Amino acid sequence: MSLPATTQIVIIGGGVMGASTAYHLARRGCTDVLLLEKQEFFGMGATGRCAGGIRYQFSTEINIRLSLLSLPMLDRFEEEPGQAIGLRRDGYLFLLTNERDVARFRHNMALQRSLGVPTEWLDGDEVRRRVPLLAADDVIAATFCARDGLADPNSVVMGYVTAARRLGVTALTGVAVTGIERAGGRITGVVTDRGTIACETVVNAAGPWSALVSEMAGVPLPVTPIRRQMLTTTALPEVPPDFPFVIDFAQSLYFHREGDGLLTGQSNPEEPPGYDERVDRAWEMAHMEAAIRRLPLLAQAGRAAHWAGLYEVTPDAHPIIGGVPGMDGYFLVTGFSGHGFMHGPAAGLLLSEILLDGHAHTLDVSQLDYARFAAGRQIREYNVIYRCSEKES
């Protein structure tokens, strides 16, 4: 398909954020929309390289409310927009091995329950009884929410893209954005390697690459790319069907069922910012040593596949959703800090409301504005699964 010469809205980035935004605009009748992805296929960037987890267990009200809006949208996904997404409710089990995290998670659980999330508190003995495969002698306590789980990221992206196209959106792959045109503090067009498109509005949904895109608009963006890697194992028939998504919080180490085996990952606290998506073999070995100590059964498995992807991290581990003061027609939906896949359905809906109605009304996300960083209004999320050192800040 050829590149249109003009369109109302250009969305840069064909992962879950861009696809969800395009779909929700189209549902409202706004179909003069061009969704651009630089890769050969949609969802091959950060979305396609994530672990697929979805959860309610966060430490701030706004992140919990994003989950309360977004996860039921995934429950309904097979009916609307109409795509099976491999949804599983295995539950998230956060293992806590120090008193500082125990105190914080007690507070977080109280907030979650006050908002209607049925998080359970487990003592160490209950953890060892429920998940006997774990080497959990050092586990003091844990939180568990049976409504947390997993879904397939690529199916979600393609469900949104297919439905958006059906409604009239133009969605193209293999198109790299090389510039954003402005005049008098207003967006006027997007330059690509296949031509220039005149437009009134640009949505930056480029995930880990969103700061590079924002430079083209002359808008500095506090979003940092951080490499995260994971692997899948060969079959482990000893893993029961009810094995939860286990997170050893202090180690930023996790496991969940994947096919006949397990998927496991661990965040490297010394990982420098950057766009390197190659697997770090030395860290993979360190990760597997820690993983086997926590789940000895892994010593019996082989590696089926491994890969690395990028998180898009903001200083407060919360996203940026909305416009930018002084740059009319420029909007952001980025910076989800490892939580983008699960909040993508809600984020696309909310940004479509901002674009079409001037504000988000399904959920007030005004505190997630771009201006909060300069104004000193940052919001700190504690329940993040990356950079152990950041948990101490």
Choosing from 311, 337, 371, the residue where a domain stops is: 311
Question: CA-to-CA distance for 218 and 350, rounded, in angstroms?
Answer: 25
In a domain, 256, yes or no: yes
Position 83 in a domain: no
SS3 state at 337? coil
Query: Does 179 reside within a domain?
Result: yes
Q: Which CA distances in Å does 146 have to 14, 90, 294?
A: 31, 6, 22
Q: What is the enclosing helix (H) or strand (E) of 142?
A: strand 141-145
| pLDDT at site 393 | 30
- What is the CATH number for 217? 3.50.50.60
Cβ-based neighbours of 205, under 8 Å, separated by 6 or more:
11, 12, 13, 15, 17, 18, 21, 333, 334
Q: Is residue 77 part of a domain?
A: no
Are 10 and 36 in contact by the 8 Å Cβ rule? The answer is: yes
Q: Which residues of 26-55 are buried (b: 16+ CB within 10 A; e: fewer)?
A: bbeebbbbbbbbbbeebbbbbbbbbbbbbb
Residue type, 230: M
pLDDT in tens, the chain (393 residues): 789 999 999 999 999 999 999 999 999 999 999 999 999 988 777 676 777 999 999 999 999 999 999 999 999 999 999 999 999 999 999 999 999 999 999 999 999 999 999 999 999 999 999 999 999 999 999 999 999 999 999 999 999 999 999 999 999 999 999 999 999 999 999 999 999 999 999 999 999 999 999 999 999 999 999 999 999 999 999 999 999 999 999 999 999 999 999 999 999 999 999 999 999 999 999 999 999 999 999 999 999 999 999 999 999 999 999 999 999 999 999 999 999 999 999 999 999 999 999 999 999 999 999 999 999 999 989 888 764 444 433
Total residue count of the chain as it appears in this document: 393
Alpha-carbon gap, residue 276 to 195, rounded angstroms:
28
**C-alpha 388: how far from chain center:** 18
Among 43, 44, 67, 46, smallest CA distance to 55 is for 67
Residues 234 and 282 in one domain: yes
> Considering the domain boundaries, does residue 115 fall inside one?
yes
Output the pLDDT for position 38.
94
Report which of 75, 71, 74 is spatially closest to residue 63, judged by C-alpha positions.
71
Question: Of the residues 290, 311, 332, which one is the last residue of a structural domain?
Answer: 311
Number of domains comprising the chain: 2
Do 215 and 174 fall within a single domain? yes
Same domain, 28 and 134: no
Residue that is last in its domain, among 286, 311, 336: 311
Strand partners, 236: none
Do residues 161 and 296 both lie within one domain? no
pLDDT value at residue 50: 78
Same domain, 159 and 181: yes
Which residue range forms the structural domain that includes residue 122?
A: 89-148+225-311
Residue 345: inside a domain, yes or no? Answer: yes
For residues 292 and 322, membership in a common domain is answered with no
Cα end-to-end distance, the chain, whole Å: 49
pLDDT value at residue 118 = 98
Whole-prediction pTM: 0.95
